[in-house]
A and B are shown apart, each in its own frame.
Chain A
């Protein structure tokens, strides 16, 4: 008897170079001419710097969490290419609905690093006023959605949002991120179905990073791929090497342009690998072999792009070092500023529940303000 695991093609780092998976950057750093989006060199360097910046911030935030200075971080180690490549493919008037692992996309959109760090600290300058745990940011001025923790809820929302944008006569497109684990959620199936029926201008960005906390991708689905799930919903499905920023850019850009032309939604399966834990609360050594991680390090998206840039002669170790120092100094200043800021005010706890403060919240606010203070604030 065939088990479910056997019908699923084994997904290895090499599988990202498979024929049905679009890639651009070869192992030796050369580009496949037939798929190369032929971006200006400065654009590719911007991608690279953004990916490196994302990784440095990840590392530093993890350190801050270990030191007890922030409560939590959910990072994108190893997934920088699919996050930055897809974010870069969105036009300025398009919208991004995040999952929770895409702070790189938020910063790409111009969200100030200081404001992001303020969110990590939940201080008085945090956009969400300290109401959510770290990495649950909102960035409406940057055409960026709002992070919530329940899995998949943003997917149907992106569909309605895109539908509304089209109804208002715009050609704005919405991209929506989620992990491959979320393809098991109600919201994924409902969102895909509604998108197909409504012909919504949405690009579904599935980061297939192989692990939903401790559950491997072959336990999420009996399908051979995640991209093929689009077919049954009338949604175009494509696979891309998500550790290849140029390939990701190309595939997502094409999906955005199709959606903008009214040609409907696309599901993009971005094959990547979560090199780190699910979050700072997770230790992946408990459930996966270190060998597997080491294999995937060979396709590290940053190293791959760097190989390409070094082959071109536009990047080298001294530039890398100088850039790292620049980002670290920038982040250090933001952290120092964030730590010096006040907490959100006590009374702000009651704001924004309703448009206007109703009687029962006025009453409870008075009780809080007039009552004893908690000890041991974190």
Chain B
């Protein structure tokens, strides 16, 4: 089994699906000859040609708008937005059109597409190359939102996403792109959308994370284990519709929950997760739920490691929550 990083695994998933289905096309800024600014689409242009790996004009609204047309015609477009920070010119198309087509047309038209885009900080990207806008999409009815943390999950989830009849936002944690390598099966395999994964079992406190922060959560779980605290770590993988059963089952076991995300705290997805936990497991809670998140500021450049909810902030939150006594 070959070893792949996240970039290679996503590239491989695209290649597998493009070989299997001539209706799958990739489009975006710089995705063609150069293979994307992160090289995620490298080699696809040579294999599939300029009609299936399309270097578009520099306009995100046009990338998604034309992808909508392709999807309505029956193709499977996989548009790339170069950074999630630049997705906003396409926001109208995504939330007013992509997300609503099936519903507003009474099911006559569907708009299957996978919008791939790198998210997250910790790569010296400053405000406009670091943000995590997931909650802005989760809030809009009709969108599925995925954020894998590792190469194996990314490949299986991306293949499932391309085959899905629903439109999907596929957020790729760019800090992980080349940081993690693991065995990834060759060829075709899928992982179910909407299923979280308990990546470390524990009994004292549940920590929910995704994307790059999953590794910070795991590091903190290791750190607190040395102090006798057993943390259960959940990788959401699909953010929405979220795997509520896995979350509730874990919280019922531990009675305590810490939610970690890079996005700002206020109206971040953590707030929604926390509400769900309270609605569905209130009587099992033994400590106030805690969010460890980005601050409610624009994403900073020089001080980004102080902005991000890294291990140094997750560890004390886990200890405090696990040891909380009313």
Which residues of A does B touch, CB under 8 Å? 126-129, 131-132, 136, 138-141, 145-146, 148, 150, 153, 155-165, 167-168, 174, 186-187, 190-191, 193-194, 197-198, 351-355, 358-360
Q: How far is the CA of A148 from the CA of B92 in the complex (A)?
A: 11
Closest to A156 in B: B65
Do A353 and B141 touch across chains, with their CB atoms under 8 A apart? yes
Cross-interface CB contact of A138 among B73, B93, B109, cutoff 8 Å: B109
Do B66 and A355 touch across chains, with their CB atoms under 8 A apart? no
Which residues of B does A touch, CB under 8 Å? 25, 51, 56-57, 59, 61-62, 64-75, 77, 89, 92-93, 96-97, 100-110, 141-142, 144, 164-166, 194, 241, 244-245
Do B244 and A128 touch across chains, with their CB atoms under 8 A apart? no
A-B contact pairs, 15 of them (CB 8 A): A126-B106, A127-B105, A136-B104, A138-B109, A140-B109, A146-B105, A146-B109, A148-B97, A150-B92, A155-B65, A160-B65, A162-B69, A193-B62, A355-B165, A360-B241
Closest to B68 in A: A157
Do A132 and B104 touch across chains, with their CB atoms under 8 A apart? yes
Shortest Cβ gap from A356 to chain B (Å): 8
Closest to A164 in B: B73
Cross-interface CB contact of A157 among B25, B51, B72, B194, cutoff 8 Å: B72
Q: How far is the CA of A354 from the CA of B193 in the complex (A)?
A: 13
Shortest Cβ gap from A118 to chain B (Å): 11
In the complex, chain B residues whose CB is within 8 Å of the CB of A139: 108
Shortest Cβ gap from A182 to chain B (Å): 13
Shortest Cβ gap from B238 to chain A (Å): 10
Q: Which of A126, A129, A146 neighbours the largest number of chain B CB atoms within 10 Å of its CB?
A: A146
Cross-interface CB contact of B96 among A128, A153, A163, A186, cutoff 8 Å: A153
Cross-interface CB contact of B70 among A128, A136, A161, cutoff 8 Å: A161
Do B166 and A355 touch across chains, with their CB atoms under 8 A apart? yes
Q: How far is the CA of A353 from the CA of B140 in the complex (A)?
A: 10
Q: Which of A145, A163, A193 neighbours the largest number of chain B CB atoms within 10 Å of its CB?
A: A163
Q: How far is the CA of A35 from the CA of B62 in the complex (A)?
A: 36
Q: How far is the CA of A132 from the CA of B264 in the complex (A)?
A: 34
- 10 closest A-B pairs by beta carbon, nearest first, are A156-B65, A160-B69, A160-B66, A161-B69, A164-B73, A190-B62, A358-B241, A138-B105, A140-B108, A157-B69
In the complex, chain A residues whose CB is within 8 Å of the CB of B67: 160
Do B69 and A159 touch across chains, with their CB atoms under 8 A apart? yes
In the complex, chain A residues whose CB is within 8 Å of the CB of B72: 145, 157, 160-161
Closest to B144 in A: A354
Q: How far is the CA of A168 from the CA of B69 in the complex (A)?
A: 13
In the complex, chain B residues whose CB is within 8 Å of the CB of A157: 65-66, 68-69, 72, 97
In the complex, chain B residues whose CB is within 8 Å of the CB of A148: 96-97, 100, 104
Inter-chain pairs besides A140-B108, A355-B164, 12 sampled, C-beta below 8 Å: A127-B108, A139-B108, A145-B109, A146-B109, A153-B93, A153-B97, A156-B93, A159-B62, A159-B65, A160-B68, A164-B74, A353-B142
Do A355 and B57 touch across chains, with their CB atoms under 8 A apart? no
Cross-interface CB contact of B68 among A156, A354, A358, cutoff 8 Å: A156
Do B75 and A164 touch across chains, with their CB atoms under 8 A apart? yes
In the complex, chain A residues whose CB is within 8 Å of the CB of B69: 156-164, 174
Do B57 and A197 touch across chains, with their CB atoms under 8 A apart? yes
Do A131 and B103 touch across chains, with their CB atoms under 8 A apart? yes
Shortest Cβ gap from A329 to chain B (Å): 28
In the complex, chain B residues whose CB is within 8 Å of the CB of A145: 72, 109
Shortest Cβ gap from B95 to chain A (Å): 10
In the complex, chain A residues whose CB is within 8 Å of the CB of B73: 160-161, 164-165, 168
Shortest Cβ gap from A45 to chain B (Å): 32
Do A194 and B56 touch across chains, with their CB atoms under 8 A apart? yes
